[in-house]
Amino acid sequence: MCPLCSFENENIIFKNSLFRIILVDEIPGYIRLITNKHIKEISELDDKELFLITKTIKEIEKIVIKIISPDKINIASLGNYVPHLHFHIIPRFKNDPWWPDSTFCNKKREFKYPKIDEFLLKDEIKKCLESL
């Protein structure tokens, strides 16, 4: 069974009929958008769904920048290991363990992440998405 088809043990911030937004514990402020329906490719979305997902990613990125102030945001959709459409929204810092490489690479150094207000981040995302 696909691990992203299950909603178990997810820190869900927001959910609608198309997707859910979760907070991932690996990196402070790391957000994942996961389609609820098991699809592999963006081309399987209709135009309205694609627009909503793209708009959602943009709005989440703006909130993460405002609250966390990272040096960069990485947005990724790979699906090679888990072929279920999902997007990673990852705040990056110039001295984080992988910089300048992807967070999917081996760590190069230790890094103490800045403290984030997880409640504020989740609340801002939820309020924003409820109004889309």
Determine contact, residues 112/96, Cβ cutoff 8 Å: no
- Which of 3.10.530.10, 3.40.50.720, 3.40.50.300, 3.30.428.10 is the CATH number of 11-130? 3.30.428.10
Helices assigned H by DSSP within the chain: 47-68, 118-130
| Per-residue model confidence as pLDDT tens digits over 72-91 | 999 999 999 999 999 999 99
- Locate the domains of the chain by residue range: 11-130
| Per-residue model confidence as pLDDT tens digits over 28-65 | 999 999 999 999 999 999 999 999 999 999 999 999 99
* 84: Cβ contacts below 8 Å, ≥ 6 apart: 2, 3, 4, 5, 34, 35, 38, 39, 40
pTM assigned to the model:
0.95
Res. 26 pLDDT band, cuts 50 70 90: confident
pLDDT score recorded for residue 108: 96
